[in-house]
A = this chain, B = another copy of it.
Amino acid sequence: MSAKGALVEGMNGGDMGLDEAAQKPHDRLGEWLAADMEAVNAMIRARMASEHAPRIPEVTAHLVEAGGKRLRPMLTLAAARLCGYDGPFHIHLAATVEFIHTATLLHDDVVDESTQRRGRPTANLLWDNKSSVLVGDYLFARSFQLMTETGSLRVMEILSNASATIAEGEVLQLTAAQDLATTESIYLQVVRGKTAALFSAATEVGGVIAGASAEQVQALYTYGDALGIAFQIADDLLDYGGTSAAIGKNVGDDFRERKLTLPVIKAVAQADAAELAFWERTIAKGRQEDGDLEQALAIMARHGAMEAARDDALAWAAKARAAIDTLPDHPLRGMLSDLAAYVVARIN
């Protein structure tokens, strides 16, 4: 599992052999939602200001203006517009979601001791860990101020629950990362924390603020959840099979960093004694040698672990697309559906 930023970058990848319309659904979303996104960006700039502590906008701007794809705020805007929303608060919620995301990136980089994010030095490297921790806290607090302004208790409930799931998933990953007993069910909890919880909250609050029916809100939640999981599994697979250019990192990084991603978990579940010893040495103990990556790939191929993980990703993407079938017929619905197809097109 790679850092979340890389995932979003990965979506801007090369020619997948699809036609232009299907190729970059997030760009089409960006065009359709351009006016809203401009308002979101203005709100982000206004709310990241600090009268007293100029370090805060410096650190935030470094990350916010580094060219992330703003996928999460677009999900909120798309969900709200798709459900016919015409008020002002989808902008607050989109900015809220981006602030939560930015805060988690700042803290993740401290936790992972990262030095690069979106192709630039990380804030913890440019300033220090202290600034990353405290500016992250500031953005969390700002995100709660923003969501409070919507006046919707349901929205606050969804986003505070998502924040707890995110933090819980990250703590779980700390302890589960190199534990060969990690099951697919724990993997899903970690993935929900890393990616899917904020995706599903982003789409769900868009529906809630629009006053959508309980069924529609549930469909938006399911879409965001399944999209996030498909997204993360695809990223795990690309780490073992993609080209550097397509994924923004080197093949085998997860293996070298001893991350128990879905293909490995599937291979471990079927391992014989010799294979288990291999995973024990390379992942649990981290004693890696030349040729181990190739050996890992061979073991995974033997058990069809990559294919099984790919099938899972395709199933989650299909679930995402099916969920929003019940939503109103709308160009945005088509783009969201294409987006779900796109995240797995890279691995299919």
On A, residues with C-beta under 8 Å from B are: 50, 52-56, 104, 107, 110-111, 129-131, 133-138, 140-142, 144-145, 148, 151, 153, 156-157, 159-161, 163-164, 166-172, 174-175, 186, 189
Contacts and interface: CB of A to CB of B under 8 A. Distances in A.
A287 to B, nearest CB: 22
Contacts of A151: 153
B138 A111 contact: no
Contact of A144 (B137, B142, B144, B174): B144
A134 B107 contact: yes
Given A145-B160, A145-B161, A111 B133 contact: yes
B140 A137 contact: yes
A55 B156 contact: no
A98 B222 CA distance: 34
A133 B110 contact: yes
Contacts of A144: 144, 156, 159-160, 163
Contact of A153 (B53, B104, B153, B171): B153
A50 B172 CA distance: 10
Q: Which of A133, A161, A174, A189 has the most CB of B within 10 A?
A: A133
29 contacts: A50-B168, A50-B171, A52-B169, A53-B169, A53-B171, A53-B172, A53-B175, A54-B175, A55-B171, A55-B174, A55-B175, A104-B137, A107-B134, A110-B129, A111-B129, A111-B134, A129-B129, A131-B171, A133-B133, A134-B167, A136-B137, A137-B167, A138-B168, A140-B167, A141-B164, A141-B166, A144-B159, A144-B163, A153-B153
